[in-house]
Chains A and B, each alone.
Chain A
Amino acid sequence: MALVKTIGIRKDYRLGKAIVHALRGVNMQIDPGEFVAVWGPSGSGKTTLLNLIGAIDEPTEGEVFLNGRKLNALSDNERTEVRNRSIGFIFQNFNLIPVLSALENVMVPLQISGESYSRAKKTAGSRLEEVGLSRFIHHRPDKLSGGQSQRVAIARALIGTPLLVIADEPTANLDSETSEKIITLMREINQKGKTTFIFSTHDRRLLKHCNRLIEISDGRISEKGQS
């Protein structure tokens, strides 16, 4: 069974009096364990597609399924729970909470789910060790480099052992060397833990890491291929 499935999804936004068609009938499928890149120029609909798969947004038309469950049929609270338990997010701007340390940032999803402080702390410590940041657990985000911050974000995304990790332009704010390292790390985690990754990028150089490429342009998937 496909982990992610979209059927004819459309997403329209209203910008003043104009309507922007961000997605125009997208059908796609992602299987468990895949490492998928969604590639396309700016404004092609990459982020919109990931938002719909990640249950952050709802389609104007069409259906989105995650592990057989229809996301757009769920209530807001149900979708929120799905995000907490089944999906990990990595953002372009890292989106770490500035007043929390690296360890505390990674603990957040577990604490939201009701995990005890001590268990959340232990699990977060292990995740940070996996991404090579055991020496930086008490550092606040303003004391971390871009690459380190994104590693913290990766650890946070993986803390709850999600079915799917969604990364929206995870390397956009990083230099090429660091970008390479981050994508390599994500790939290693994917191969080791069989965690499904779907990430968006407009950087062709990173595509060599993925085992599947979804090319999107002007709200439509123009070709699917394997790199």
Chain B
Amino acid sequence: MTILAISIGFAAISLFRGYMDYTYWGLRQSAIRGEGLAHLTIFKKGWREKGNINPDKYMFSEEEIRICMEVLNSNRHVLLSTPQLDISGIVTNGRISTIFIAQGVIPEDVKVIEGSWRAFRPIKGNRLDKKRLSGVEMAKGLAKILDMEPGDYSVIMSPTLQGHMNALDIEVAGLYDTGTEATNDKYMRIPLTIARSLYDTGKADRIVVLLDDCEKTDTLKKIIQKKLYEAGLATEIRSWDELSNFYSEVKELFDLIFLFLFIIVLTIVIMSVVNTMGMAVIERTREIGTLRALGMKRKAVGNLFAIEGGLIGLFGCVFGIALNLLVWIVIRYIQPTYVPPGNSSPVPLMVNLVPQAMGIYAFVLIMLSLFAAVFPARRAAGQNVVNALGHV
């Protein structure tokens, strides 16, 4: 029963870890590719604190964008760097008006950033295209408010950076789902040229950088910041995980849940092993007396029971690995889906196999089982031989 308890506990934490691993990967890809954050976002120093008050001052000018791109493109780990401009204003169909928030992007560059993740962001209608100059992608919730379908026309309005009111005609090229209810009724993605036109500027508020390896994000962040500074640009750079609040919050929650689960499993393992070995010592008292009479020293008796405890942990982990594999195979075969909180569409429930983590958990549980057996083992070793031999 103790071996079964350890097996189930091991499988539980390994499966949950595998689920977390897949979820983090999904969230990571969603942030980098889906949200279009790429790996790094470069702002002018002071943009995040004072950009709202004086946006013109804290945007990159065309010359600064050119310098920035030169520095970035000279780094072999940079796959793509592209300027973007976030805007906001009012959108109307002539009868109904509502607010919008839009990302002004270069369509071909967004295609590169999204990569194969594009398949997870299906579009009803057409995507942004450099040939369709006024075509925009509108979130489904916003389109519903405005009663818009692909091919319909609308007007966006906003003050320019100089404070003059401006309006532009747009065509709804396609509709998409942002994936979260909070943004589905506001968001658009528009060509950078339209965003700049509306704001009457040639500037960009950020430069987004796609790297060849996510693991290099932190290292390259420092290198690029230094290079830009040497080129005369004071910048602040944020990595994708710093910008994706959703990723950070979900990760923090899952890490906490995992810790809680791990502590519970460890407690169960310790209590099970102590109980099992304690019972074993009582039941095998006469055997202990015999071994001592035959010449086994106290330390050896203690080691015997401690090793038995460790072996219980070992077998528990071996069966736990088998159970983990079995459940993993079943999940991959069934391919279940679920709708996470705040999402508007189902996502696959997948579990990764994380061998390194499983190895660590096995080591911890085996060592724990061994140490948990020490207390009963010492009791076994300390028994009086005469009393042990006479035990009934």
Residues of chain A having any CB pair with chain B under 8 Å: 51, 54, 56-57, 76-77, 80-81, 83-85, 89, 91, 93, 95, 97-98, 108-109, 112-113, 156
Contacts and interface: CB of A to CB of B under 8 A. Distances in A.
B386 interface: yes
B295 A97 contact: no
A109 B294 contact: yes
Interface string B289-306: 111111111101000000
Contacts of A84: 294-296
Interface in B367-390: 385-386, 389
B215 to A, nearest CB: 50
Main SS class of interface, A:
helix
Given A80-B292, A81-B297, 9 more contacts: A57-B385, A80-B295, A84-B294, A84-B296, A91-B389, A95-B289, A95-B290, A109-B295, A112-B291
Given A97-B287, A97-B290, A57 B386 contact: yes
B385 A56 contact: yes
Given A56-B386, A56-B389, A95-B389, A112 B296 contact: yes
Interface residues of B, number: 16
Interface of B: 286-287, 289-298, 300, 385-386, 389
Nearest to B384: A57
Given A56-B386, A57-B386, A83 B297 contact: no
B225 to A, nearest CB: 65
29 contacts: A56-B293, A56-B385, A56-B389, A76-B298, A77-B297, A80-B292, A80-B296, A80-B297, A80-B298, A81-B297, A83-B293, A83-B294, A83-B295, A84-B296, A85-B295, A89-B293, A91-B290, A95-B289, A95-B290, A95-B293, A95-B389, A97-B287, A97-B290, A97-B291, A108-B291, A109-B294, A112-B291, A112-B300, A113-B295
Contacts of A109: 294-295
Contacts of B295: 80-81, 83-85, 109, 112-113
A95 B385 contact: no
A77 B386 CA distance: 16
B293 A54 contact: yes
A155 to B, nearest CB: 13
Nearest to A51: B386
Contacts of B297: 76-77, 80-81
Q: Kindly list the 5 A-B residue pairs having the minimum CB-CB distance in the complex, ordered from nearest.
A: A84-B295, A95-B290, A83-B295, A56-B385, A109-B294
Nearest to A94: B290
Contacts of B298: 76-77, 80
B389 A108 contact: no
Nearest to B286: A95
A57 B389 CA distance: 12
A93 B293 CA distance: 14
A80 B350 CA distance: 58
Contacts of B286: 93, 95
A93 B291 CA distance: 14
Nearest to A93: B286
B311 to A, nearest CB: 14
A112 B293 CA distance: 11
Nearest to A166: B293
Contacts of B385: 56-57
